[in-house]
Structure 1
Amino acid sequence: MELLVQQFFTALGLILCLQLLLKCLEFSKYLFPRLWGVLPSSFFQRMGEWAVVTGAGDGIGKAYSIELASRGMNVVMISRTLEKMQKVALEIEQSTGRNVKIIQADFTKSNIYAHIEENLQGLEIGILVNNVGMLHSPDPCCFLDAPNNDENLINCNVISAVKMTRLVLKQMEQRRKGLILNISSAFGSFPCPLYATYSASKAFVTTFSRALQAEYKSKGITIQAVTPYGVSTPMTKNLSTNIITKSSRDFVRESLKHVTHGSETFGCLAHAVLGWIMNQIPLWVIHSTRVQQCILNIIIAKQRKEKEMLKKEKIR
């Protein structure tokens, strides 16, 4: 019996050591990306002539458009905000000399894809960034307290990734090369209360990406889910940047270093560390009513403070 117990704890220790080693290897991708292979400067151009970016008028989509153009790609920008795209397109053309094509489309609608397909005809598309997305509500809240925008959210966060991938993947398969980046969220890695529909939609994007990578990696195509935590964008109310919350440009630059490092990436070291910490917290803690109420109280206090500041500004 004593020998059996000793063998059990020896085996358990080996498993824990192996798990720690695998986690260290995962972090090494972010700490020492050169050890995992440096992408040649021509990597993105070799995928094809054009990069297609959805939700390109602002935030992460804008940053991908600018960064990929700086790496030699012509860019197709797709968004509903025409004026914003025109401004970004002019910036790209003047700073990089690359061509920019604009397609105006509202991804909360389901009847836009024939129009998009028509405008993509004849383009050699090497990269697709499925970035467009929306929150269920400006602030965290319970499901029934959020606006009834379920159809819009599913169209924007889920259907868009599937439809755009179907449009572009066909030619990538024929040419046996291409890169698809599906911008998901770390909130999709666990059932996240107060973000129920958003979390579920991003879980779909991550699972969809990983399954497609298994299907198409042998055909020379890379499909990766990018699952960040905090990035400062208009959707996140332009949060102040810090060691965790990244600017769109910084996050995109770092994430592009890891496009060949597996079917899923946090995109940067800070978010990978935060992801590891979150994984150590039992789900029952995150799902507890007390934790949810604490978060809601913080949001309410913040909203009150913002209202008071607005009143003071009006008085001035």
Structure 2
Amino acid sequence: MASGMEWFFTALGAVVVIYYGVKLLRFTRMLYPKRWFPLPKSFFLSMGEWAVVTGASEGIGRQYAFVMAEQGMNVVIMSRTKVTLDKVAKEIRESTGRMVKVVVADFTKDNIFTDIEEELKFLDIGVLVNNVGMVPSVLPQRFLEDEDLDQTIVRVINCNVRTMVKMCRIILPGMENRRKGVIVNIASGIASIPFPMYSLYAASKIFVERFSQGLQAEYKDKGIIIQAVSPFGVSTRMVGYQPTNRTMLSPQDFVKSSLQYIRAGDKTYGTICHMVLGWLLLAIPSKILHTEFMLQGLKKYVERKQAGKKSSSVIVEA
């Protein structure tokens, strides 16, 4: 009996050591992405002639569009504001010499994807970046505090969930036929846990993660990379253009970092600092995070950060 218990605890200890050893090895790999996940210089261009980026008029989406053009790809930029898109298209053409196609679309609306599919027909699309997304209010609020809740529900689901699925439905078949392609779906770090005061937004982004991971399992043998990218702080309009620091990155720095992890698996936080933030968030017991004291503290913190800014309106990353 004693020898049996000794064997059990020895085996259990070995399993624990192996488990944490593997986690440490994986973390070490993340510190050196260029070594562990190298990308050939022509990697993105080898996927196809065109890249499609939703929510490309500003912020993260705009930067993805620029980087894809710098990689030699032509780009389709999509958003709801034609004037801003035309300006971005002009800047990309002048700085890279690549072709830019502008598609105006309000992704919070219904019945827009037939026209989008027509616009993209016959293009050799190698990269899709599903970036467009919205948060009902940058200020924390309880679900029922939204003054136009029914409309908000429709808009968030259309923009954050339906758009990603429909764009994959439109573009994935061509990638499957060519047996190559990259799809990047922008989620959010706060989707790591149930996140009160941003419940609808966080839930929509966990859908992005799970859908991306499921699709990658289905299509990785077809030569297609599908990845969810889950950033925390990036200085965009969605967070009121907060000053950059080690955790609040500029769109340029974030996109540059995240693309180094494109072959690192079906989900990435995009940067080491955001990865550490994600682990810390997961390590804190939910009973602590969900206390009224913590919720009110979050609200006061965001209000202080957003003082003097129009943060109570719907913010669309597009």
TM-score under structure 1 length normalisation? 0.92
Q: Is the 8 A contact 1:231 1:248 kept in 2?
A: yes
Equivalent position of 1:20 in the other structure: 20
- CA–CA distance in structure 2, aligned partners of residues 290 and 4 of structure 1: 48
User: Please, which of 205, 209, 217 is the counterpart of residue 214 of structure 1?
Assistant: 217
Structure 1 residue 235: deviation in Å? 1.0
Matched, 1:234 2:237: yes
Q: Cα gap change, 1:39/1:102 in structure 2, threshold over 3 Å: closer, same or farther?
A: same
- CA–CA distance in structure 1, aligned partners of residues 301 and 231 of structure 2: 23
Q: Is the 8 A contact 2:213 2:227 kept in 1?
A: yes
- CA–CA distance in structure 1, aligned partners of residues 155 and 102 of structure 2: 22
Q: Tell me the amino acid that sits aligned with residue 39 of structure 1.
A: L
Report the number of matched residues.
306
Q: Cα gap change, 1:180/1:16 in structure 2, threshold over 3 Å: closer, same or farther?
A: same
Structure 1 residue 110: deviation in Å? 1.6
User: Please, which of 290, 293, 296 is the counterpart of residue 287 of structure 1?
Assistant: 290
Q: Is the 8 A contact 2:189 2:231 kept in 1?
A: yes
User: Please, which of 291, 295, 300 is the counterpart of residue 297 of structure 1?
Assistant: 300
Q: Tell me the amino acid that sits aligned with residue 295 of structure 2.
A: Q
Please show how residues 1-316 of structure 1 align to structure 2 within 5 Å. 6-7=6-7, 9-147=9-147, 148=149, 149-301=152-304, 306=308
Which of the pair has the greater relative contact order for Cα pairs under 8 Å at 6+ separation? 2
Equivalent position of 1:313 in the other structure: none
- CA–CA distance in structure 1, aligned partners of residues 184 and 237 of structure 2: 21
- CA–CA distance in structure 2, aligned partners of residues 172 and 125 of structure 1: 7
Q: Tell me the amino acid that sits aligned with residue 278 of structure 1.
A: L
Q: Secondary structure at the match of 1:134?
A: strand
Moved more, 55-64 or 83-92: 83-92
Q: Is the 8 A contact 2:192 2:282 kept in 1?
A: no
Structure 1 residue 37: deviation in Å? 3.5
Moved more, 271-280 or 55-64: 271-280
Structure 1 residue 258: deviation in Å? 0.9
Moved more, 183-192 or 158-167: 183-192
Q: Tell me the amino acid that sits aligned with residue 40 of structure 2.
A: P
Query: What residue ranges of structure 1 are gaps of 5+ in the alignment?
Result: 308-316
- CA–CA distance in structure 2, aligned partners of residues 247 and 255 of structure 1: 12
Q: Is the 8 A contact 1:70 1:96 kept in 2?
A: yes
Q: Cα gap change, 1:281/1:16 in structure 2, threshold over 3 Å: closer, same or farther?
A: farther
Q: Is the 8 A contact 1:53 1:129 kept in 2?
A: yes
- CA–CA distance in structure 1, aligned partners of residues 180 and 279 of structure 2: 32
- CA–CA distance in structure 1, aligned partners of residues 305 and 241 of structure 2: 15
Q: Tell me the amino acid that sits aligned with residue 94 of structure 1.
A: E
Q: Cα gap change, 1:302/1:171 in structure 2, threshold over 3 Å: closer, same or farther?
A: closer
Moved more, 177-186 or 83-92: 83-92
Structure 1 residue 16: deviation in Å? 3.4
Q: Tell me the amino acid that sits aligned with residue 119 of structure 2.
A: N
Query: What residue ranges of structure 2 are gaps of 5+ in the alignment?
Result: 310-318
Q: Is the 8 A contact 1:229 1:271 kept in 2?
A: yes
